[in-house]
Structure 1
Amino acid sequence: MSAMLQTTAADLSDPALSAADLLARTTDAVREAGAALRGRFGEVVAYRTREELMAALAANDDAALAVLRPALTELRPGAGWVEDELDGGALPAGEWWVVDPAEGNVNHLHALPEWAVTATLVRDNRPVLTVVHLALTGETYTALTGAGAHLDGRPLRVSPTEDLGLGIVATSQARPDEDETVVRRVGSSITAMLSDALVVRTAVPATLHLVNVAAGRMDAFWQFAGARADLLPGALLVTEAGGTVSDAQGRPWTPQSAGFLAATPGVHAAAVATLSR
């Protein structure tokens, strides 16, 4: 388990609000934001320039944030707020809401179903609570440190797979306009995994691959670089579901790490070996 993920549900104690109540109310807010985005989903949104694309993405973000920001700020008035879901690296000390109001936003614009709304409460760079809501299916994934990971209240457990050659693995683009060195590393890692794993999937967004690892449907997910909002929700879900989270070389992962790997314990070492080639 990554050192940054070691905390307990008791750390969320608040005289006015229990950890379970905080999770429940965060879930309500994320579901409400998902409903707002679902109402905007349907036809492909046409754009001809980068400026038009960015405006369309921002419109979706704003619709969800209009729900999320006031609700989550009321829950933790002293918590900071991460404005840009593409930001990476460490956060200042204290509590922060790391939110992706439209994870997989570009899919939403193209009338593709792979998108979600996420909210993660981070304390001193450790995720302590997360909610991931898939508005089209109605599925809600939640995790609270020390209390497990759940899908609509049902406990999640990672796959028992012990042979990478029998495993389904995935990766994702880290962000638009990624550094060429990272792009080449992603390409070479996919080539390596095509030789070692049963099936390799490549798509955005990262969070939807990670919920599949937590639910035991897939066996590993890796990514180089990446944003906090991409990785923190899934890191907590996978850890609480019994998985292993590290950087791509098997070292403890933090938001400052250059690589990320979440896997079932049975294939983690083999995945590290493949990614280290």
Structure 2
Amino acid sequence: MSETLQTADSTVVVSDADLLAGTAAAVREAGAALRERFGEVVPYQTREELMSALAANDDTALRILRPRLTRMRPDAGWVEDELDGGALPAGEWWVVDPAEGNVNHLHALPEWAVTATLVRDNQPVLTVVHLPMTGQTYTALAGAGAHLDGRPLSVARTKDLGLSVVATSQARPDEDEDVVRRVGSSITAMLFDALVVRVAVPATLHLLNVAAGRIDAFWQFAGARADLLPGALLVAEAGGRISDAEGRPWTPRSAGFLAAAPGVHAQAVSSLSS
């Protein structure tokens, strides 16, 4: 699909593929800036000190991302809070997580990323997830597949949940008590039904592994657009199934999320529904 971008001098036709390339360049640049800040564990003693350290990382990446992405799509909205959920108003929106897995970055753990997703009328159109510690960049364009550094991705061909590696993640700190209990019971169910259960943040990194065929399913209860939309598009474009935890169509309003290889999706739904 092509979109028309009006500049001061002329009208330029910009394809979604060109937007993806420009987005990838901006996300890589932001990742490089965050990598320069990575190293020692960042000390904090209070919630206020923690929030300040998280905000410093976010601000470092956003100083690069926001002007670059806004320049490409000046009429697109901008989701201010990466923890927000639910549907967006009509039109185009940038859904960005400037430091996905930010708390890992602060703790000198390498599992963090920078993500940017363009959403059009509540459908993700393109996404970029860059892993600065490995230099890898995952991209997806609606209808054009998912790729890792230009190489096509495809989900696993596993057909038996009992032979599967599955994963889940904590949606956010201070989660609602009912959600916390549901997460706990779902992990117990999967410990019985799957081969191996992985539990860690952030969600996006698990979803990259589903898209790449390294693990077979990922689920989460609650959650924000910024930690689910990039991976949802990647998995769908890699041939995976996306639903809520009960197997119904997933939307950002859904209380649960499941991304799985087609061969184990129904078994994962059964396990989570039990």
Q: TM class by shorter-chain length?
A: over 0.9
2:181 maps to what in 1? 184
Distance 1:200 1:128 in 2: 31
Identity of aligned residues (%): 82
Report the alpha carbon displacement of residue 275 of structure 1 after superposing the two structures with TM: 0.3
Give the unaligned 5+ runs of structure 2: 5-11
- Whether 2:50 is the aligned partner of 1:32: answer no
Which residue pairs with 1:112 in the alignment? 109
Other-structure match for 1:225: 222
| Distance in 1, Cα, partners of 2:172 & 2:268 | 22
| AA matched with 1:152 | D
Aligned to 2:18: 21
Equivalent-residue separation in structure 2 for 1:223 and 1:230 (angstroms)? 10
The number of residues matched between the two structures is 267
Matches within 5 A, 1:210-249: 210-249=207-246
Alignment of 1:1-277 (within 5 A): 10=1, 12-14=2-4, 15-277=12-274
Q: Where does the alignment leave 5 or more consecutive residues of structure 1 unmatched?
A: 1-9
2:114 counterpart SS class: strand
SS at match of 2:13: coil
2:80 alignment partner AA? E
- TM-score, scaled relative to structure 1: 0.96
Residue by residue, what CA displacement relative to the aligned partner does 1:214-273 show, whole Å, maximum 9, x if unpaired? 000000000000000010000000000000000000000000000000000000000000
What's the TM-score, normalizing by structure 2? 0.97
Aligned to 2:9: none
Once the 2 structures are TM-superposed, how far is the Cα of residue 164 of structure 1 from its aligned partner? 0.3
Shift, 1:21, TM fit: 1.0
Which runs of 4 or more aligned residues in structure 1 lie more than 3 Å from their structure 2 counterparts after TM superposition?
12-15
Distance in 1 separating the partners of 2:87 and 2:168: 22
Q: Distance in 2 between matches of 1:213 and 1:122?
A: 21
Write the deviation string for residues 182-236 of structure 1: whole angstroms up to 9, x where unpaired.
0000000000000000000000000000000000000000000000001000000
* Paired AA for residue 88 in structure 1: G
SS in 1 for 2:14: coil
Question: C-alpha distance in 1, partners of 2:118/2:230?
Answer: 9
CA-CA distance at 1:124 after TM superposition: 1.0
| More relative contact order, 1 or 2 (CA 8 Å, 6+ apart) | 1
Listed one character per residue, the Cα deviations across residues 68-92 of structure 1 (whole Å, up to 9, x for unaligned) are 0000000100000001101111111
Which residue type is aligned with residue 128 of structure 2?
V
**Whole-Å Cα distance in 1 between the matches of residues 205 and 152 of structure 2?**
17
Over the residues paired in the alignment, what is the CA RMSD in angstroms? 0.7
